[in-house]
Amino acid sequence: MTVTKMTAAQVARKVIEKRELFILDVRNKEAFEDWKIEGQHFDYLNIPYFELLDGVEKVLPRIPTDKEVLVVCAKEGSSLMVAEMMSEAGRDVYYLEEGMKSWSSYLEPLKVGDLTGGGELYQFVRLGKGCLSYMVISEGEAAIIDAVRFTDVFVQFAKEKNAEIKHVFDTHLHADHISGGRQIAEVTGAAYYLPAKDAKEAVFEYTSLDDGLKVEIGASKIEVGALYSPGHTIGSTSFIIDSKYLLTGDILFIDSIGRPDLAGLADDWVGDLRETLYTRYRGLAEDLIVLPAHFMIVDELNEDGTVAKQLGELFAENHGLNIESEKEFHHAVTNNLPPQPNAYQQIRQVNMGKINPGPDEQIEMEIGPNRCAVR
C-alpha cells in the first residue's frame, strides 16, 4: 500500500471546502489537546508515536478504511515513520509534510470582494494560527494590514497582481504572533504605520498611525485611523476601507471580543474596550462588513473560507456586544480570559524591535493556537 505526502495547502483546501479527513496525531497528549488541525468534518485519534514503536496493529481497528487518513506530528519524522508502518500493515495513508510546523505557517489568500474603481480586497487566512491579514489592491498599488511574518508570501502575491506595495499597517502591537509589517516595508520601500501609543518602546522608525489619517490606494480610499478603538491595546485602531469594510484588528471578532490583558492592564483597559464596542462601533453603519485580525474556531469560516460578517449581525449575535451592565461586562471580560499566548512577552519585544530571534526561535514562539479573544 502507498504512503503519500500531503501538504499544508492541501489540508487547507479540505478545511475550506469542508471535506472529510481522519487525522492520526502522534504528538503527545498535551500538545494535541492544546492545538490541533481543525476541520468541521475531521475526525481524530491521538496516540503518541512512542506507543506505536512496537507496531500499529493494535490501533488499526480504530482507523477507518473509507476515509483519507493523515498522520501528523510536530515536524514530519515521526508521522512518516508511523505512516510507513501502517502501509506495511496494508493501509493507504498520508503524512503531513513538515508536520505542524508547516501547518502553523501556511497562508491561504482569499478574495473578500471588489472595491470602487476596480480595486480588490484579499484576506490571507492562516488556518493553523487563526491569524487574518489583508491586502488592498487598486490601480497597481497595494496596502497590507496586519501582515504575519511570512514576508515573501505578501511580496510575491502583490507581484503576481502587478501591484507595488506602498503602505503597510499594523492595527496594534501584536502579542500572539510576530508581525511581518516592518520587514515588508523594508523590502519594498513602503511606509510602515503603527499606533504611537503602542510603540513607545519601539527601537525602529515608523509612521505614526493617528486618528483620522487617510491614505488613498489607487482609486480605493483607505480611511486609516478613522476610528481610534482602544481596548485590546491602548493604541488599537480600526480601518474603514471603501466605506464598506471595517477592519477591527483584535478588538472585535465574529464570535467573541478582544482581550484587554496582554500588557498586564486588564482592569485599566476593559473600560476602553467597552467604550469602543458599545459606543464607537455603535455609531457606525450596520452594513459594514467586519474583518477581524483573528478567528477562534473553524465554524467562523464562511462557505468560501473567508472570515467576515456584517456589523449589524454581530450586534445581534455576538454575546460580547450584548452585556448591558458595565459591572457585568467587566466581570465577564476579566474572568473569562484564556491562557496567555505562547511567549507573548517575547513576541511583543520582537515586534518592538528589541530582540531579533532566528527562524527556529520564531517558530517556537508562535507554536500553539490563537488566544486573542475573551472566551
Q: Give catalytic residues, as residue numbers.
A: 73
CB 195 within 8 A of CB 366: no
Spatial neighbors of 161 by CB under 8 A, at least 6 apart, are: 120, 137, 142
Q: How far apart are CA 109 and CA 122, in angstroms?
A: 7
Instruction: Quote the cell numbers at residue 25.
Output: 496525531
Tell me the C-alpha distance between 209 and 252, whole Å.
Answer: 19
CA separation for the pair 308, 104 (Å, rounded): 21
Rg (CA), the chain: 21
- Looking at the DSSP bridge assignments, the partners of residue 258 are 373
Classify the phi-psi angles of 60: left when phi > 0, otherwise alpha if psi is within -120 to 50, otherwise beta: alpha
d(CA 253, CA 15): 20
